[in-house]
Amino acid sequence: NAGVTQTPKFQVLKTGQSMTLQCAQDMNHEYMSWYRQDPGMGLRLIHYSVGAGITDQGEVPNGYNVSRSTTEDFPLRLLSAAPSQTSVYFCASRRDPRYEQYFGPGTRLTVT
Partner 1 sequence: GDSVTQMEGPVTLSEEAFLTINCTYTATGYPSLFWYVQYPGEGLQLLLKATKADDKGSNKGFEATYRKETTSFHLEKGSVQVSDSAVYFCALISGNQFYFGTGTSLTVIP
Q: Which residues bind partner 1 (CB under 8 A)?
A: 4, 31, 33, 40-43, 45, 50, 90, 92, 97-106
Beta bridge partners of residue 98, listed in sequence order: none
Nearer to partner 1, 26 or 80 (CB): 26
Nearer to partner 1, 14 or 98 (CB): 98
Nearer to partner 1, 4 or 60 (CB): 4
Q: How far is the CB of 16 from partner 1 (least distance, A)?
A: 28
